[in-house]
């Protein structure tokens, strides 16, 4: 009798566990580790553009007009070391000015939207601020002025990765054509970044998209006339989510579609 009860309890446990697992998949999540703030590190910061931040629009991540895509002026271009070949696009950082008479108290939070390229014609300590292996933030001027006086030019800062707080689901901006789909991924919460993306048409299985540049991914496939779903894995903490039926079967390039799920 005791043996029967043990087997019954084990079976009940396995059935319950599998039910919860399938419920998680159905809701769009494979795993749900929450991204947490990281330790503070030392770096340097400068600014580019003026108070309107008009020169920060576009950029190496491919977010286009940063006001329309939801990032505004709280942005920065990362040095090569921090940019990680575009996988850092969308990451969020707290930045605090330190050890300078030009510092303001407190910190500001920015999103990585651009690359600050190396300047090999200048020494790393005298103009080549974004040369490897320097960790450097070239901030939009409005963001820089929240932590330091603009006349400082360059200041030492403490920075740390923090969770990206976003409203709503991940957004997908479509480019390409019926035989080549190029997707820009925006409004990413949690770690803010994406490592891998798969696309699934209503008539296909999952197909892995290749990293194009910045926050864009591409698939060479005939997907026109099909509703599209996406599976995404975070670059930082490897969380995987499924965004089902993001785009209807009559989707068009030039349009942006929003999922109902996001990272944690």
Structural domain ending residue among the three candidates 104, 126, 160 = 160
Determine contact, residues 47/139, Cβ cutoff 8 Å. yes
Distance set, CA 68 to CA 58, 186, 187, 190, 191 (Å):
11, 11, 11, 21, 21
What CA–CA distance (Å, rounded) separates 162 from 154? 23
Number of domains in the chain: 2
What confidence tier does 78 reach under pLDDT thresholds 50, 70, 90?
very high
Domain that holds residue 181: 169-256
135 lies in the same domain as 80: yes
50 band by pLDDT with thresholds 50, 70 and 90: confident
| pLDDT attached to residue 32 | 55
d(CA 243, CA 206): 12
CATH, residue 242: 2.60.40.760
Query: Which of the listed residues 132, 160, 188 is the one where a domain comes to its end?
Result: 160
Indicate whether 178 and 136 sit together in one domain. Answer: no
Domain assignment present for residue 2? The answer is no
227/188 same-domain check: yes
- The whole-angstrom separation of Cα 199 and Cα 218 is 9
Query: Of 67-71, 99-103, 207-211, which range is least confident?
Result: 67-71
Q: What is the reported pLDDT for 53?
A: 79
> Residues for the chain: how many in total?
264
Q: Which of 97, 130, 160 is the last residue of a domain?
A: 160
Please tell me the pTM assigned to this model. Answer: 0.84
Tell me, yes or no, whether 99 lies in a domain. Answer: yes
With tokens 């990032």, the residue in question is 71
Residue 4 lies in a domain: no
Whether residue 23 lies inside any domain: the answer is no
Cβ atoms of 84 and 152 within 8 Å: the answer is no
């Amino acid at each position: 009798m005791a043996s029967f009860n043990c087997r019954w309890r084990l079976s009940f446990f396995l059935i319950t566990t599998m039910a919860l697992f399938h419920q998680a998949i159905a809701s769009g999540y494979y795993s749900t580790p929450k991204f947490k703030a990281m330790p503070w590190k030392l770096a340097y910061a400068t600014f580019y553009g003026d108070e309107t931040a008009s020169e920060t629009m576009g950029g190496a991540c491919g977010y286009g007009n940063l006001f329309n895509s939801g990032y505004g002026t709280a942005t920065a271009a990362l040095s090569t070391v921090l940019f990680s070949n575009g996988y850092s696009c969308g990451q969020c950082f707290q930045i605090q000015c330190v050890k300078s008479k030009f510092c303001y108290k407190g910190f500001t939070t920015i999103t990585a939207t651009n690359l600050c390229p190396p300047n090999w014609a200048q020494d790393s300590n005298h103009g080549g601020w974004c040369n490897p292996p320097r960790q450097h933030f070239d901030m939009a001027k409005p963001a820089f002025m929240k932590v330091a006086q603009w006349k400082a030019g360059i200041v030492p800062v403490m920075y740390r990765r923090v969770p990206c707080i976003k409203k709503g689901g991940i957004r997908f901006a479509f480019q390409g054509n019926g035989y080549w789909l190029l997707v820009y991924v925006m409004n990413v919460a949690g770690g803010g970044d994406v490592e891998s993306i798969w696309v699934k048409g209503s008539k296909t299985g999952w197909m892995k998209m290749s990293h194009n540049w910045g926050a864009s991914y591409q698939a060479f496939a005939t997907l026109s006339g099909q509703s599209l779903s996406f599976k995404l894995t975070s670059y930082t903490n490897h969380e995987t989510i499924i965004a089902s039926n993001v785009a209807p079967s009559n989707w068009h390039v030039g349009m942006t579609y929003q999922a109902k799920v996001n990272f944690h």
